[in-house]
């Protein structure tokens, strides 16, 4: 009976993530992982008995926050703020003599600053990923001991 109640609770707890899950998009797997960490973090914080509960909770909250950064994909905005330059975007230019369009920089784009922003955004995203997996790889197995 307890197993049935646990299953019903899990379906309720994960309902939004399960409802939105799509097999073809890796980010939904992150949503499942993030949601499970939220539950685990809450339970360890309230009922954990191992000596490193405060550290485990802090690490889990950090991973949850970092996963949220990945999902919100705010690295470009963060890089723009840091560099002090907002990307102008792109335009579509009709191809000469052919059907179709070519992707070109929007008018007024500073290519040097634009490259700085995109390079920094890529670096921030990589650092974010590295931190997530460093915490998970080094500490996750201890969260339940």
Instruction: Give the DSSP letter string of 75-90.
Output: HHHHHHHHHT-----E
Quote the mean pLDDT of the chain: 91
Residue 94 bridge partners (DSSP): 101
Six-digit token string for 115:
């490259």
- Residue 117: its pLDDT value, please? 95
- Residue 51: its pLDDT value, please? 77
pLDDT tier for residue 145 given thresholds of 50, 70 and 90: low
CA angle 123, 117, 112 (to 5 degrees): 125
- Lowest average pLDDT, out of 1-5, 16-20, 47-51, 65-69, goes to 47-51
SS percent in the chain: helix, strand, coil, step 5: 70, 5, 25
Report CA 113 to chain centroid distance, whole Å: 25
Ranges of each domain in the chain: 1-65, 73-136
Cα 101 to Cα 93: distance, rounded to the nearest angstrom: 5
- Residue 49: its pLDDT value, please? 79
């Amino acid at each position: 009976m307890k197993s049935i109640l646990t299953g019903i609770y899990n379906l309720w707890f994960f309902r939004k993530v399960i409802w939105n899950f799509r097999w073809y998009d890796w980010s939904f797997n992150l949503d499942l992982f993030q949601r499970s960490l939220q539950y685990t973090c809450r339970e360890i914080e309230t009922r954990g008995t191992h000596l490193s509960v405060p550290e485990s909770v802090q690490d889990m909250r950090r991973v949850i926050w970092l996963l949220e950064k990945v999902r919100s994909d705010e690295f470009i905005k963060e890089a723009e703020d840091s560099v002090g330059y907002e990307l102008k975007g792109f335009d579509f230019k009709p191809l000469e003599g052919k059907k179709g369009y070519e992707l070109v920089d929007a008018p007024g784009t500073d290519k040097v600053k634009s490259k700085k922003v995109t390079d920094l955004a890529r670096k921030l995203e990589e650092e974010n990923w590295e931190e997530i997996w460093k915490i998970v790889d080094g500490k996750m197995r201890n969260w339940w001991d």
